[in-house]
Structure 1
């Protein structure tokens, strides 16, 4: 549906459904609604964290919040660090809850934030949960970025134990391995956003902004499809979000079949909003939801639980990666 922002693939071309020519369903039976963090969504889709912290983007976040409310999907705000440091930009974030009173809204801070800061971020937008982002790849190419990543796991465990809302830990475009996912689970994390390679490359963006050159990291990271399969192959009781280079209803459906409970898109949604306006973005999201329902029909899945049980076939680079990592790809085809 959209051109990739770079030439790093998210890996979904290596995953296929088996077409069901006898679905034995009516279109009005297809239900792609879901419950996430206690709130019902029209579809398993979220506008992921992309922007915030500057007065110029207040109207952008207002528009994204309106779109989320109109389509019944979730939304995560960008990093709220700027609002904690400068109250003058707080409105950049509070506008999201003002425009979306009842919807699912996630706060956002770096995983090294303090408990006090995390509570402030949640209270700022009356958030239903908080994203804690892991962004070592981005920080390393920022001119004044963080260079000390010691203690992140312990800090996450402290936040999970003491925050009043669910904690979702996410990467920012480089993916999560099964080892990291297992370590996060041991720290008490139950919500994961793999945010793999294939979407927005923040290292490259920071390099273009005048930071330390980051073009050598253009293809760094774990492709989203692979990161998702590594995560779900652990068998741990996690609620997984797939993000990073999802570009069609088919990518969304494949992510759900591979074990994701929710999918998320950021950059492409922002581009449509800025260039074409709220109505165009609303129409795009409605098209994505309608396309998801069509794929569900063609697999014979009346609901998301049924879709998650449908077999998928893994080929190419993704299959080779998983096999070399000792993950049995045949399990996904024999469900």
Structure 2
């Protein structure tokens, strides 16, 4: 059943990303163009640092899949692309492995193909400490992602219905493991209040995982006979909204994923306070259509365009993007007003 569910996820996620590109709240973020702000391209460095971690780029391949023959092949191709482009990569949830060790190679292939790269293991918030250590050992992981997915679980026919223990278990895992712990949402966004609570639990970084990309409520609803959760469409905070909400609430390093469609979205995320920006669905579509070579070309183009955009903006590093002037409009601005976030200052940061 687990392998079948993982294959269903891939099929339904790829169908979502094959739909015509739709607007999301990244489109409510515009840079103020300063015509003399540009610098020399050779002065731009894409390296980032956070929580004792150093990456060569502010772009990473976020968690997707694993647990079946098909998803093992996908993980292999994603890892090859990560190796060839120098990107960090996260495995999909290793719950499948913890239930059935026979699928270990569908995850372990990531480390096999990316032996010297930065690899993140991925578990849910109810995982036992001993199992958290097992998945770290399996992948020789450099960091551990713990995903929060209550909305997905509620819609999932066989999903969990008990969430009260999650915070305490996150704290126990963080205390027990020797690699950085990053807590992420799966597409419904983290709030500022959640970010503060996670800081209290001792995690090393958060990934806001906002609405706008792969919709796991819709995916799980598509697996139901009655499909009666369609009214949850649009639940949660978008990635830009979650970034704005969390940036003013915590000093934790913040990563961003969810609805990242273009290099411009990556740079928008950096300007809203993300240290690095991840993509899943967009990269999944590319690798399914063209294999690892196509994804290497895709990522290489994105890294080139990110460098070009930083050059025009006068940002020597990704972290310098937080000094760029922004104009926030539309539903994103309305969210900020409702949450008491003053957007005017974003237009006068340079």
* TM-score normalised to structure 1 length: 0.95
Give the CA deviation at 1:90: 0.2
Correspondences of 1:202-241 after superposition (within 5 Å): 202-210=216-224, 213-234=228-249, 236-241=250-255
CA contact (8 A) 2:188 2:211 kept: yes
How far, CA to CA, are the matches of 1:269 and 1:172 in structure 2? 16
Q: 48-57 or 128-137: which moved more? A: 48-57
Distance 1:3 1:106 in 2: 24
Structure 2 residue ranges without an equivalent (≥5): 1-15
Alignment partner, residue 312 of structure 2: 298
1:96-148 CA-partner distances (Å, limit 9, x unpaired): 00110111110001011111111001110000111101111111111111001
Give the match for residue 155 of structure 1: 169
Determine if the alignment matches structure 1 residue 174 to structure 2 residue 188: yes
Number of positions where the alignment pairs a residue of Structure 1 with one of Structure 2? 333
Residues 9-65 of structure 1 show CA distances to partners (whole Å, capped at 9, x for unaligned) of: 541111111112113521221211223554543321111111111122211111111
Shift of 1:6: 8.6
Please say if residues 47 and 57 of structure 2, whose CA atoms lie closer than 8 Å, have aligned partners that are also in contact.
yes
Q: 1:53 aligns with which of 53, 63, 67?
A: 67
Query: CA contact under 8 A between 1:23 and 1:299: conserved in structure 2?
Result: yes
Is 2:111 the partner of 1:106?
no
Residue of structure 1 in register with 2:150 after alignment: 136
CA RMSD of aligned residues (A): 1.8
**1:124 is matched with which residue: 138, 148, 157?**
138
Distance 1:24 1:180, change over 3 A: closer
* Aligned pair partner of 1:68 in 82, 90, 113: 82
Distance 1:219 1:52, change over 3 A: same
Looking at structure 2, the residues matched to 248 and 128 of structure 1 have their Cα atoms a distance apart, in angstroms, of: 27
Return closer, same or farther for 1:36/1:284 CA change in 2, 3 Å cut-off.
farther
Per-residue CA deviations over 1:60-116 (Å, capped at 9, x if unaligned) read 111111100100111000010111111110001111001101111100010111111
Alpha-carbon distance change, 238 to 224 in structure 1, aligned in 2, over 3 angstroms: same
Which residue of the partner structure matches residue 194 of structure 1? 208
Instruction: Note closer, same or farther for the CA distance 1:267–1:24 as it changes in structure 2 (3 Å cut).
Output: closer
Aligned to 1:213, the other structure's residue is in SS state: coil
Confirm whether residue 331 of structure 1 aligns to residue 319 of structure 2. Answer: no
Give TM-score, length-normalised by structure 2.
Answer: 0.91
Partner of 2:28: 14
Deviation per CA, 1:278-334, whole angstroms, max 9, x where unpaired?
111111111111111111112111222322222212111111211121111123223
User: Of Structure 1 and Structure 2, which has the larger fraction of its residues in helix?
Assistant: 2
Structure 1 residue 183 corresponds to structure 2 residue 202:
no
